[in-house]
Structure 1
Protein backbone atom coordinates (compact mmCIF):
# COMPACT_ATOMS: atom_id res chain seq x y z
CA UNK A 1 0.00 0.00 0.00
CA UNK A 2 1.24 3.48 -0.83
CA UNK A 3 0.89 6.15 1.85
CA UNK A 4 1.40 9.00 -0.62
CA UNK A 5 -2.19 9.18 -1.86
CA UNK A 6 -3.24 12.82 -2.23
CA UNK A 7 -6.92 13.80 -2.42
CA UNK A 8 -8.05 14.92 -5.84
CA UNK A 9 -10.30 17.91 -6.41
CA UNK A 10 -13.46 15.81 -6.06
CA UNK A 11 -12.05 13.83 -3.11
CA UNK A 12 -13.63 10.56 -4.25
CA UNK A 13 -13.27 7.59 -1.95
CA UNK A 14 -15.28 4.58 -0.85
CA UNK A 15 -15.68 2.60 2.35
CA UNK A 16 -15.49 -1.20 2.38
CA UNK A 17 -16.11 -3.69 5.15
CA UNK A 18 -13.15 -6.07 5.32
CA UNK A 19 -11.87 -8.84 7.57
CA UNK A 20 -8.51 -9.05 9.28
CA UNK A 21 -7.89 -12.26 7.41
CA UNK A 22 -8.23 -10.74 3.93
CA UNK A 23 -6.87 -7.22 4.56
CA UNK A 24 -4.34 -7.59 7.38
CA UNK A 25 -1.40 -6.23 5.38
CA UNK A 26 -3.18 -3.01 4.39
CA UNK A 27 -4.63 -2.46 7.86
CA UNK A 28 -1.26 -2.98 9.50
CA UNK A 29 0.53 -0.54 7.21
CA UNK A 30 -2.07 2.20 7.79
CA UNK A 31 -2.06 1.82 11.54
CA UNK A 32 1.70 1.54 11.79
CA UNK A 33 2.05 4.74 9.78
CA UNK A 34 -0.53 6.75 11.75
CA UNK A 35 -0.26 5.39 15.27
CA UNK A 36 3.22 3.94 15.68
CA UNK A 37 5.18 6.37 13.49
CA UNK A 38 3.13 9.59 13.78
CA UNK A 39 1.85 9.27 17.34
CA UNK A 40 4.59 7.09 18.86
CA UNK A 41 2.18 4.47 20.16
CA UNK A 42 4.19 1.43 21.36
CA UNK A 43 3.67 -1.56 19.04
CA UNK A 44 2.77 -3.82 21.97
CA UNK A 45 -0.18 -1.52 22.77
CA UNK A 46 -1.30 -1.14 19.17
CA UNK A 47 -1.46 -4.87 18.48
CA UNK A 48 -3.77 -5.93 21.31
CA UNK A 49 -5.00 -9.27 19.98
CA UNK A 50 -8.52 -7.96 19.23
CA UNK A 51 -8.15 -7.54 15.47
CA UNK A 52 -8.84 -11.09 14.31
CA UNK A 53 -12.38 -11.08 15.72
CA UNK A 54 -13.19 -7.39 15.15
CA UNK A 55 -15.17 -5.77 12.33
CA UNK A 56 -12.95 -3.60 10.13
CA UNK A 57 -13.72 -0.93 7.55
CA UNK A 58 -11.22 0.32 4.98
CA UNK A 59 -11.35 3.58 3.01
CA UNK A 60 -9.88 3.62 -0.49
CA UNK A 61 -9.34 6.47 -2.94
CA UNK A 62 -10.55 6.30 -6.54
CA UNK A 63 -7.40 4.41 -7.53
CA UNK A 64 -8.00 1.75 -4.89
CA UNK A 65 -5.26 2.92 -2.53
CA UNK A 66 -5.90 2.53 1.20
CA UNK A 67 -6.33 5.88 2.96
CA UNK A 68 -8.07 5.05 6.25
CA UNK A 69 -9.30 2.33 8.56
CA UNK A 70 -11.32 1.79 11.74
CA UNK A 71 -12.60 -1.21 13.68
CA UNK A 72 -15.38 -2.27 16.05
CA UNK A 73 -15.28 -5.15 18.52
CA UNK A 74 -18.25 -7.44 19.15
CA UNK A 75 -19.41 -5.39 22.15
CA UNK A 76 -19.64 -2.18 20.09
CA UNK A 77 -16.29 -0.64 21.03
CA UNK A 78 -15.12 1.52 18.09
CA UNK A 79 -11.46 2.36 17.76
CA UNK A 80 -8.20 2.25 15.82
CA UNK A 81 -9.48 5.00 13.50
CA UNK A 82 -6.56 6.01 11.29
CA UNK A 83 -6.67 8.36 8.29
CA UNK A 84 -3.65 9.40 6.22
CA UNK A 85 -2.70 13.02 6.86
CA UNK A 86 -3.43 14.16 3.29
CA UNK A 87 -7.00 12.85 3.57
CA UNK A 88 -7.93 14.33 6.94
CA UNK A 89 -10.80 16.85 6.97
CA UNK A 90 -12.27 15.31 3.82
CA UNK A 91 -14.99 13.27 5.54
CA UNK A 92 -13.15 9.94 5.58
CA UNK A 93 -13.38 9.48 9.34
CA UNK A 94 -17.06 10.45 9.34
CA UNK A 95 -17.96 7.91 6.69
CA UNK A 96 -16.01 5.13 8.39
CA UNK A 97 -17.68 5.95 11.71
CA UNK A 98 -21.11 6.01 10.06
CA UNK A 99 -20.42 2.64 8.44
CA UNK A 100 -19.55 1.06 11.79
CA UNK A 101 -22.62 2.59 13.47
CA UNK A 102 -24.79 1.17 10.68
CA UNK A 103 -23.30 -2.28 11.32
CA UNK A 104 -23.91 -1.88 15.06
CA UNK A 105 -27.55 -1.00 14.40
CA UNK A 106 -27.95 -4.03 12.14
CA UNK A 107 -26.62 -6.17 14.99
CA UNK A 108 -29.15 -4.49 17.30
CA UNK A 109 -26.49 -3.25 19.70
CA UNK A 110 -28.04 -0.83 22.21
CA UNK A 111 -25.05 1.51 22.07
CA UNK A 112 -21.56 2.04 20.73
CA UNK A 113 -18.60 3.32 22.70
CA UNK A 114 -15.08 4.55 22.10
CA UNK A 115 -12.06 6.12 23.74
CA UNK A 116 -11.41 9.36 21.86
CA UNK A 117 -8.16 11.25 21.87
CA UNK A 118 -9.07 14.56 23.48
CA UNK A 119 -8.14 16.45 20.31
CA UNK A 120 -10.89 14.49 18.51
CA UNK A 121 -13.67 14.91 21.09
CA UNK A 122 -15.45 17.62 19.05
CA UNK A 123 -15.51 15.28 16.03
CA UNK A 124 -17.34 12.62 18.05
CA UNK A 125 -19.66 15.16 19.67
CA UNK A 126 -20.83 16.05 16.16
CA UNK A 127 -21.71 12.37 15.73
CA UNK A 128 -23.84 12.38 18.90
CA UNK A 129 -21.36 10.70 21.22
CA UNK A 130 -21.52 11.80 24.86
CA UNK A 131 -18.47 12.03 27.18
CA UNK A 132 -18.44 9.65 30.14
CA UNK A 133 -16.12 9.97 33.13
CA UNK A 134 -12.80 11.76 33.39
CA UNK A 135 -9.98 12.16 30.88
CA UNK A 136 -7.41 9.37 31.17
CA UNK A 137 -4.04 8.53 29.65
CA UNK A 138 -3.49 5.72 27.15
CA UNK A 139 -0.17 5.29 25.32
CA UNK A 140 0.85 8.67 26.82
CA UNK A 141 -2.05 10.35 24.97
CA UNK A 142 -5.05 11.89 26.84
CA UNK A 143 -8.34 10.14 26.03
CA UNK A 144 -12.03 10.62 26.82
CA UNK A 145 -14.46 7.69 27.04
CA UNK A 146 -17.63 8.41 25.02
CA UNK A 147 -20.84 6.54 24.23
CA UNK A 148 -23.75 6.86 21.83
CA UNK A 149 -27.12 5.16 22.31
CA UNK A 150 -28.61 3.65 19.17
CA UNK A 151 -32.29 3.57 18.22
CA UNK A 152 -33.59 0.09 17.55
CA UNK A 153 -34.08 -1.09 13.97
CA UNK A 154 -37.85 -0.81 14.25
CA UNK A 155 -37.41 2.96 14.53
CA UNK A 156 -35.92 3.23 11.05
CA UNK A 157 -38.23 5.08 8.64
CA UNK A 158 -38.05 4.71 4.89
CA UNK A 159 -37.45 7.93 2.96
CA UNK A 160 -40.65 7.19 1.02
CA UNK A 161 -42.57 7.89 4.23
CA UNK A 162 -41.06 11.37 4.65
CA UNK A 163 -44.38 13.14 3.84
CA UNK A 164 -46.02 11.33 6.79
CA UNK A 165 -43.56 12.61 9.38
CA UNK A 166 -44.96 15.04 11.96
CA UNK A 167 -42.62 17.39 13.78
CA UNK A 168 -42.66 16.71 17.51
CA UNK A 169 -44.71 13.52 17.16
CA UNK A 170 -43.16 10.92 14.84
CA UNK A 171 -40.34 8.94 16.45
CA UNK A 172 -37.61 7.30 14.38
CA UNK A 173 -34.82 8.21 12.00
CA UNK A 174 -34.60 8.55 8.22
CA UNK A 175 -31.35 7.87 6.39
CA UNK A 176 -30.67 10.62 3.86
CA UNK A 177 -28.65 9.32 0.93
CA UNK A 178 -28.54 12.06 -1.67
CA UNK A 179 -29.14 15.70 -2.53
CA UNK A 180 -32.88 15.30 -3.11
CA UNK A 181 -33.36 13.46 0.19
CA UNK A 182 -31.69 16.34 2.03
CA UNK A 183 -33.68 19.02 0.20
CA UNK A 184 -37.03 17.39 0.82
CA UNK A 185 -36.31 16.55 4.46
CA UNK A 186 -35.28 20.15 5.17
CA UNK A 187 -38.37 21.55 3.44
CA UNK A 188 -40.78 19.15 5.16
CA UNK A 189 -39.33 19.72 8.63
CA UNK A 190 -38.95 23.50 8.49
CA UNK A 191 -42.43 23.89 6.97
CA UNK A 192 -43.86 22.47 10.21
CA UNK A 193 -41.78 24.68 12.50
CA UNK A 194 -43.49 27.38 14.55
CA UNK A 195 -40.87 28.66 16.98
CA UNK A 196 -37.26 28.31 15.93
CA UNK A 197 -34.77 27.19 13.32
CA UNK A 198 -31.09 26.98 14.22
CA UNK A 199 -29.00 26.12 11.18
CA UNK A 200 -25.26 25.61 10.94
CA UNK A 201 -24.02 25.43 7.35
CA UNK A 202 -20.42 26.21 6.33
CA UNK A 203 -21.37 27.92 3.04
CA UNK A 204 -25.19 28.19 3.06
CA UNK A 205 -25.24 24.97 0.95
CA UNK A 206 -27.04 26.47 -2.07
CA UNK A 207 -27.81 23.08 -3.61
CA UNK A 208 -29.84 22.20 -0.51
CA UNK A 209 -31.14 25.52 0.81
CA UNK A 210 -31.29 27.96 -2.14
CA UNK A 211 -34.67 26.89 -3.51
CA UNK A 212 -38.12 28.47 -3.39
CA UNK A 213 -39.80 25.75 -1.33
CA UNK A 214 -37.22 25.89 1.45
CA UNK A 215 -37.20 29.70 1.50
CA UNK A 216 -40.99 29.74 1.72
CA UNK A 217 -40.83 27.29 4.64
CA UNK A 218 -38.27 29.48 6.44
CA UNK A 219 -40.39 32.57 5.83
CA UNK A 220 -43.50 30.86 7.20
CA UNK A 221 -41.65 29.85 10.37
CA UNK A 222 -40.02 33.26 10.83
CA UNK A 223 -43.30 35.18 10.75
CA UNK A 224 -45.39 32.60 12.60
CA UNK A 225 -45.44 34.76 15.72
CA UNK A 226 -43.56 37.65 17.30
CA UNK A 227 -41.14 35.32 19.10
CA UNK A 228 -40.26 33.11 16.12
CA UNK A 229 -36.56 33.24 15.33
CA UNK A 230 -34.21 31.86 12.67
CA UNK A 231 -30.49 31.75 13.48
CA UNK A 232 -28.11 30.82 10.67
CA UNK A 233 -24.44 30.27 11.40
CA UNK A 234 -21.92 30.09 8.55
CA UNK A 235 -18.18 29.77 8.07
CA UNK A 236 -17.61 31.30 4.65
CA UNK A 237 -19.91 33.87 2.99
CA UNK A 238 -17.88 34.15 -0.22
CA UNK A 239 -20.12 31.91 -2.33
CA UNK A 240 -23.28 33.71 -1.22
CA UNK A 241 -21.63 37.09 -1.84
CA UNK A 242 -20.42 36.07 -5.30
CA UNK A 243 -23.55 34.32 -6.55
CA UNK A 244 -26.36 35.50 -4.30
CA UNK A 245 -28.65 33.34 -2.17
CA UNK A 246 -32.39 33.53 -1.59
CA UNK A 247 -32.01 33.17 2.17
CA UNK A 248 -29.82 36.29 2.32
CA UNK A 249 -32.52 38.30 0.57
CA UNK A 250 -35.14 36.85 2.92
CA UNK A 251 -33.03 37.84 5.94
CA UNK A 252 -32.86 41.38 4.58
CA UNK A 253 -36.65 41.55 4.32
CA UNK A 254 -37.37 39.95 7.71
CA UNK A 255 -34.36 41.25 9.60
CA UNK A 256 -36.10 41.21 12.99
CA UNK A 257 -36.63 37.43 12.83
CA UNK A 258 -33.77 36.04 10.71
CA UNK A 259 -30.14 36.46 11.76
CA UNK A 260 -27.01 35.35 9.90
CA UNK A 261 -23.73 35.18 11.81
CA UNK A 262 -20.21 34.15 10.93
CA UNK A 263 -18.60 31.54 13.19
CA UNK A 264 -15.59 32.40 15.31
CA UNK A 265 -12.11 31.19 14.36
CA UNK A 266 -12.37 28.67 17.20
CA UNK A 267 -15.10 26.86 15.26
CA UNK A 268 -13.52 26.92 11.81
CA UNK A 269 -12.73 23.21 11.93
CA UNK A 270 -16.38 22.22 11.61
CA UNK A 271 -17.14 20.53 8.29
CA UNK A 272 -20.60 19.24 9.20
CA UNK A 273 -24.06 20.70 8.61
CA UNK A 274 -26.99 20.48 11.01
CA UNK A 275 -30.30 22.09 11.87
CA UNK A 276 -32.61 22.01 14.88
CA UNK A 277 -36.29 22.91 14.41
CA UNK A 278 -38.52 23.81 17.37
CA UNK A 279 -36.00 22.12 19.71
CA UNK A 280 -37.24 18.64 18.71
CA UNK A 281 -36.46 17.98 15.03
CA UNK A 282 -32.92 17.53 13.73
CA UNK A 283 -31.22 17.03 10.38
CA UNK A 284 -27.47 16.50 10.22
CA UNK A 285 -24.75 15.58 7.78
CA UNK A 286 -21.27 14.72 8.96
CA UNK A 287 -19.66 16.50 6.01
CA UNK A 288 -21.02 19.54 4.19
CA UNK A 289 -19.76 18.34 0.80
CA UNK A 290 -21.51 14.96 1.02
CA UNK A 291 -25.18 14.10 1.25
CA UNK A 292 -25.26 11.11 3.60
CA UNK A 293 -27.20 12.24 6.64
CA UNK A 294 -29.96 11.61 9.15
CA UNK A 295 -33.34 13.24 9.85
CA UNK A 296 -35.36 12.83 13.05
CA UNK A 297 -38.66 14.65 13.55
CA UNK A 298 -39.03 13.97 17.28
CA UNK A 299 -35.85 13.48 19.26
CA UNK A 300 -35.76 16.21 21.92
CA UNK A 301 -32.86 14.61 23.82
CA UNK A 302 -30.46 14.69 20.87
CA UNK A 303 -31.88 18.04 19.78
CA UNK A 304 -30.91 19.50 23.17
CA UNK A 305 -27.34 18.24 22.83
CA UNK A 306 -27.05 19.59 19.30
CA UNK A 307 -28.63 22.89 20.34
CA UNK A 308 -26.09 23.22 23.15
CA UNK A 309 -23.30 22.95 20.58
CA UNK A 310 -25.02 25.48 18.33
CA UNK A 311 -25.63 27.99 21.14
CA UNK A 312 -22.01 27.83 22.26
CA UNK A 313 -20.89 28.55 18.69
CA UNK A 314 -23.50 31.31 18.32
CA UNK A 315 -22.26 33.07 21.46
CA UNK A 316 -18.78 33.25 19.93
CA UNK A 317 -20.04 34.38 16.50
CA UNK A 318 -20.56 37.82 14.99
CA UNK A 319 -23.04 39.23 12.45
CA UNK A 320 -21.61 38.67 8.98
CA UNK A 321 -20.44 42.05 7.58
CA UNK A 322 -20.12 40.91 3.96
CA UNK A 323 -23.75 39.82 3.92
CA UNK A 324 -24.82 43.08 5.56
CA UNK A 325 -23.10 44.96 2.74
CA UNK A 326 -24.80 42.66 0.26
CA UNK A 327 -28.14 43.74 1.71
CA UNK A 328 -27.56 47.37 0.81
Structure 2
Protein backbone atom coordinates (compact mmCIF):
# COMPACT_ATOMS: atom_id res chain seq x y z
CA UNK A 1 0.00 0.00 0.00
CA UNK A 2 1.31 3.41 -0.95
CA UNK A 3 1.08 6.41 1.36
CA UNK A 4 -2.53 7.48 1.68
CA UNK A 5 -3.78 10.78 3.18
CA UNK A 6 -7.53 11.07 3.72
CA UNK A 7 -9.16 14.21 5.14
CA UNK A 8 -12.42 13.71 7.05
CA UNK A 9 -15.13 15.89 8.56
CA UNK A 10 -17.73 13.56 10.09
CA UNK A 11 -18.05 11.25 13.08
CA UNK A 12 -18.70 8.30 10.77
CA UNK A 13 -15.52 8.97 8.80
CA UNK A 14 -13.52 9.35 12.01
CA UNK A 15 -14.88 6.03 13.32
CA UNK A 16 -14.10 4.27 10.01
CA UNK A 17 -10.52 5.54 9.88
CA UNK A 18 -9.95 4.80 13.56
CA UNK A 19 -11.18 1.23 13.01
CA UNK A 20 -8.77 0.89 10.07
CA UNK A 21 -5.90 2.25 12.14
CA UNK A 22 -6.64 -0.15 15.01
CA UNK A 23 -6.99 -3.13 12.67
CA UNK A 24 -3.64 -2.39 11.00
CA UNK A 25 -1.72 -2.10 14.29
CA UNK A 26 0.65 -4.93 15.14
CA UNK A 27 3.23 -3.62 17.62
CA UNK A 28 2.29 -0.27 19.14
CA UNK A 29 -0.76 1.91 19.60
CA UNK A 30 -0.33 5.38 21.08
CA UNK A 31 -3.59 7.20 21.84
CA UNK A 32 -4.31 10.67 23.12
CA UNK A 33 -7.72 12.30 23.62
CA UNK A 34 -9.07 14.57 26.34
CA UNK A 35 -11.78 12.05 27.36
CA UNK A 36 -12.27 9.39 24.61
CA UNK A 37 -15.95 10.31 24.53
CA UNK A 38 -16.46 9.49 20.84
CA UNK A 39 -13.88 6.75 20.41
CA UNK A 40 -16.31 3.89 21.11
CA UNK A 41 -13.67 1.99 23.06
CA UNK A 42 -16.50 0.01 24.64
CA UNK A 43 -17.91 -1.27 21.36
CA UNK A 44 -17.67 -4.94 20.47
CA UNK A 45 -15.78 -4.04 17.26
CA UNK A 46 -13.12 -2.01 19.12
CA UNK A 47 -12.86 -4.72 21.77
CA UNK A 48 -12.26 -7.38 19.10
CA UNK A 49 -9.63 -5.25 17.32
CA UNK A 50 -7.80 -4.41 20.54
CA UNK A 51 -7.94 -8.00 21.81
CA UNK A 52 -6.44 -9.24 18.53
CA UNK A 53 -3.73 -6.58 18.77
CA UNK A 54 -2.89 -7.32 22.42
CA UNK A 55 -3.13 -11.10 21.98
CA UNK A 56 -0.44 -10.74 19.32
CA UNK A 57 1.83 -9.00 21.84
CA UNK A 58 1.09 -5.40 20.86
CA UNK A 59 1.52 -2.64 23.44
CA UNK A 60 -1.08 0.05 24.05
CA UNK A 61 -0.27 3.47 25.55
CA UNK A 62 -3.30 5.64 26.31
CA UNK A 63 -3.23 9.19 27.71
CA UNK A 64 -6.18 11.41 28.57
CA UNK A 65 -7.31 14.24 30.78
CA UNK A 66 -10.37 12.48 32.17
CA UNK A 67 -11.46 8.84 32.19
CA UNK A 68 -15.01 9.12 33.49
CA UNK A 69 -16.49 8.38 30.07
CA UNK A 70 -14.45 5.18 29.78
CA UNK A 71 -15.44 4.12 33.29
CA UNK A 72 -19.15 4.71 32.64
CA UNK A 73 -19.52 3.80 28.97
CA UNK A 74 -16.80 1.29 28.15
CA UNK A 75 -17.04 -1.79 30.39
CA UNK A 76 -15.53 -3.90 27.61
CA UNK A 77 -12.44 -1.70 27.67
CA UNK A 78 -12.21 -2.08 31.44
CA UNK A 79 -12.34 -5.88 31.03
CA UNK A 80 -9.71 -5.63 28.30
CA UNK A 81 -7.55 -3.61 30.68
CA UNK A 82 -8.02 -6.26 33.36
CA UNK A 83 -7.18 -9.10 30.93
CA UNK A 84 -4.20 -7.40 29.24
CA UNK A 85 -3.00 -4.94 31.87
CA UNK A 86 0.57 -6.10 31.36
CA UNK A 87 0.43 -4.75 27.79
CA UNK A 88 -1.61 -1.60 28.44
CA UNK A 89 -0.29 1.52 30.07
CA UNK A 90 -2.72 4.29 30.97
CA UNK A 91 -1.67 7.78 31.97
CA UNK A 92 -3.45 10.92 33.05
CA UNK A 93 -2.26 14.31 31.89
CA UNK A 94 -0.87 16.77 34.38
CA UNK A 95 -2.68 20.01 35.08
CA UNK A 96 -0.30 21.89 32.77
CA UNK A 97 -1.47 19.81 29.79
CA UNK A 98 -5.22 20.14 30.34
CA UNK A 99 -5.47 22.82 27.64
CA UNK A 100 -4.45 20.31 24.93
CA UNK A 101 -7.46 19.69 22.74
CA UNK A 102 -6.34 17.61 19.79
CA UNK A 103 -6.93 13.87 19.49
CA UNK A 104 -4.97 11.14 17.74
CA UNK A 105 -4.22 7.45 17.38
CA UNK A 106 -0.80 6.34 16.10
CA UNK A 107 -0.27 2.74 15.00
CA UNK A 108 3.19 1.24 14.58
CA UNK A 109 4.72 4.68 13.93
CA UNK A 110 3.29 4.33 10.42
CA UNK A 111 -0.42 5.21 10.54
CA UNK A 112 -2.29 8.04 12.26
CA UNK A 113 -5.85 9.24 12.65
CA UNK A 114 -6.00 12.72 14.10
CA UNK A 115 -8.64 15.29 14.81
CA UNK A 116 -7.31 18.79 14.95
CA UNK A 117 -9.61 19.65 17.88
CA UNK A 118 -11.41 17.12 20.08
CA UNK A 119 -14.65 19.12 19.90
CA UNK A 120 -14.83 18.77 16.11
CA UNK A 121 -14.57 15.95 13.61
CA UNK A 122 -12.31 17.68 11.08
CA UNK A 123 -9.07 15.79 10.75
CA UNK A 124 -7.04 13.44 8.62
CA UNK A 125 -5.97 9.85 8.42
CA UNK A 126 -2.54 8.95 7.08
CA UNK A 127 -1.76 5.34 6.26
CA UNK A 128 1.75 4.15 5.36
CA UNK A 129 3.17 7.59 6.00
CA UNK A 130 5.87 7.29 8.64
CA UNK A 131 7.45 10.52 7.36
CA UNK A 132 4.18 12.34 8.21
CA UNK A 133 4.20 11.18 11.83
CA UNK A 134 7.41 12.66 13.22
CA UNK A 135 5.76 15.72 14.80
CA UNK A 136 2.88 13.66 16.24
CA UNK A 137 5.27 11.04 17.63
CA UNK A 138 7.31 13.76 19.34
CA UNK A 139 4.10 15.33 20.63
CA UNK A 140 2.91 12.00 22.04
CA UNK A 141 6.26 11.40 23.73
CA UNK A 142 6.15 14.85 25.33
CA UNK A 143 2.58 14.30 26.54
CA UNK A 144 3.54 10.84 27.83
CA UNK A 145 6.56 12.11 29.75
CA UNK A 146 4.61 15.03 31.23
CA UNK A 147 1.74 12.77 32.34
CA UNK A 148 1.46 10.72 35.49
CA UNK A 149 0.58 7.12 36.09
CA UNK A 150 -3.08 6.47 35.44
CA UNK A 151 -3.55 3.66 37.90
CA UNK A 152 -4.58 5.50 41.01
CA UNK A 153 -7.79 4.74 42.89
CA UNK A 154 -10.04 3.50 40.11
CA UNK A 155 -10.11 1.15 37.13
CA UNK A 156 -8.31 3.42 34.67
CA UNK A 157 -6.99 6.16 36.87
CA UNK A 158 -7.88 8.78 34.29
CA UNK A 159 -10.66 10.54 36.13
CA UNK A 160 -10.07 13.53 38.33
CA UNK A 161 -8.62 12.72 41.72
TM-score (ref. length: structure 1)? 0.45
Secondary structure of 1:296 counterpart? strand
**Which runs of at least 4 in structure 1 moved beyond 6 Å after TM superposition?**
none
Alignment of 1:201-216 (within 5 A): 201-216=33-48
- Count of residues in correspondence between the two structures: 156
Please tell me whether the aligned partners of residues 206 and 245 of structure 1 are also in contact (alpha carbons under 8 angstroms): no
The residue aligned with 1:253 is: 83
**How far off its partner does 1:278 sit?**
0.4
Which residue matches 2:53? 221
The CA deviation at 1:276 is 0.7
User: Given that residues 30 and 105 in structure 2 are in contact (C-alpha distance below 8 angstroms), is that contact kept between their aligned partners in structure 1?
Assistant: yes
| Aligned equivalent of 1:195 | 27
| Contact preservation (8 Å) 2:11, 2:121 | yes
Q: Distance in 2 between matches of 1:209 and 1:240?
A: 7
CA shift digits 1:106-127 (9 cap, x unpaired): xxxxxxxxxxxxxxxxxxxxxx
CA distance in 2, matches of 1:263, 1:325: 13
- CA distance in 1 between partners of 2:68 and 2:116 (Å): 22
| SS of 1:209 mapped into structure 2 | coil
Q: Which runs of 5+ in 1 are unaligned?
A: 1-168
Q: Counterparts of 2:15 and 2:41 in 1: how far apart (Å)?
A: 7
Residue ranges of structure 2 left out of the alignment (5+ in a row): none
TM-score normalised by length of structure 2: 0.87
- Answer 1 or 2: higher relative contact order, Cα 8 Å, separation at least 6: 2
- Give 2:103's match in structure 1, choosing from 242, 252, 273: 273
Task: Tell me: CA distance 1:240–1:209, structure 2 relative to 1, closer, same or farther (3 Å).
Answer: closer
**Pairing 1:288-303 to 2, within 5 Å after superposition:** 288-303=118-133
Q: Deviations over 1:40-69 (max 9, x none)?
A: xxxxxxxxxxxxxxxxxxxxxxxxxxxxxx
Matched, 1:285 2:115: yes
3-state SS of paired residue (1:241): helix
Does residue 324 (structure 1) correspond to residue 134 (structure 2)? The answer is no
SS in 1 for 2:24: coil
SS in structure 1 of the partner of residue 31 of structure 2? strand
The 1:264/1:222 distance shift into structure 2, 3 A limit, reads same
Q: What is the CA deviation profile of residues 62-115 of structure 1, one whole-angstrom value per residue up to 9, with x for unaligned ones?
A: xxxxxxxxxxxxxxxxxxxxxxxxxxxxxxxxxxxxxxxxxxxxxxxxxxxxxx
1:27 is aligned to none
Contact 1:179 / 1:207 at 8 angstroms: preserved in 2? no
